[in-house]
Amino acid sequence: MVGEAKVARVRLVDVAVRVGVSPKTVSNVVHGTGMVSDQVRRRVQAAIDELGYQPNLAARQLRNGRSGLVALAMPDLREPYFAEFASAFFRAAEERSLNVIVSQTQGRRDVEAALCEGVGLPALEGLVLSPLALTGKDLGKRRSAVPLVLIGEHGQALATPNVPHVGVDNVAAAAAATEHLLRDGRRRIAVIGVQEEGSTATSTLRFEGYRRALAAAGVQFEPALVGTVRHFNRAEGSEAAALLLTSGAEFDGLFCFNDTLAFGAVYTLATHGIRVPDQVRVVGFDAIEEGRFSVPPLASVCTNLHLTSESVLDIITGADPNRGGRQQIPFAVVDHNGSGAVRGPVRKIFAAVGEVGTG
């Protein structure tokens, strides 16, 4: 159209002509390779800045046979834990000069299975998936050669020598959270987060840890102190706490299977005039940032999101030779109310599927 001018893309050869050097010399400056004097390097960089030259990343990736892209697929980025994991993953990827694309699965099996096959995705260095509905059968049919790493509790059961899983030992971490309450003298410890339908992997593992800790301390398990939920969110935590209170159950400790459940529970306890942590001490799981600034601050299991991200990317980039099976990440129970921190496993544990202990 009249009045519109097409702006020509500045080419590497244009920079070379401006400086009076060969295109190879400009290429060496751009990629930091070859022998180029400081004087020539400064002249080339000045011309690059003046002309606005931008290297053709796609062409470079094609020559190198690498895309520099990693996909991160999570159920719901509205949930604080997933948002904070994504943030930690972005930082770890940036340290490795990798770019990240994000997909939200809503926990749908068809979406998770399609992503595993690379449907709708560009060329990738690897795929990181937190599944809620994927099955071993789905993985067994997978034909994509893109490295796949699973995170999250549902993914733990799906790990194979070729499809690794990275995460904390949920049974041991839940036991540590419960032990934290026991050490504080709490003996009637309620729990919120048990699920009876849907994706129950997280609930099952953390409930097992809770019961193990009670048994080890000689404290009898009481079904009346169990609060069930459908989803891990504030509303469900609040409702479960209200049901425990109206049932007449007496408790002086409360372990919630994630922090958002805990926030909802603490709200309900406060509205019923129950002082936290004086009358009821509460421990959550995930140690999201909001917990540090809640009133009172929330004790919680820290799952080392940055270390998890680094470990995942080490597997994808080949920096970790122990890439198969399940890799456990250290955890810690962090209490900002002055009770200190209870450390979990202090080392990475690499084990074949079926040989991972509880730390």
pLDDT digits (tens, 9 = 90+) for 267-313: 999 999 999 999 999 999 999 999 999 999 999 999 999 999 999 99
The CATH code for residues 69-168+305-328 is 3.40.50.2300
Task: Name the nearest CA neighbour of 176 among 347, 344, 345.
Answer: 344
Determine what percent of the chain is predicted with pLDDT higher than 90. Answer: 70
- 170-302, CATH topology level: Rossmann fold (3.40.50)
State which H helix or E strand residue 64 sits in: helix 57-64
β-bridge partners, 227: 192
Q: Fold identical between 12-55 and 170-302?
A: no
Dig out the tokens for 359 from the structure. 């730390």
β-bridge partners, 191: 226, 255
- Give the start-to-end residue ranges of the domains of the chain: 12-55, 69-168+305-328, 170-302
Q: pTM of the entire structure?
A: 0.77
Under CATH, which architecture does the 12-55 domain have?
A: Orthogonal Bundle (1.10)
What mean pLDDT comes out for the span 348-357? 33
pLDDT attached to residue 350: 32
Task: Name the nearest CA neighbour of 100 among 86, 115, 114, 112.
Answer: 86
User: pLDDT per residue over 2-54, tens digit each?
Assistant: 444 444 678 888 899 999 999 889 888 876 767 889 899 899 999 998 898 87
pLDDT attached to residue 197: 84
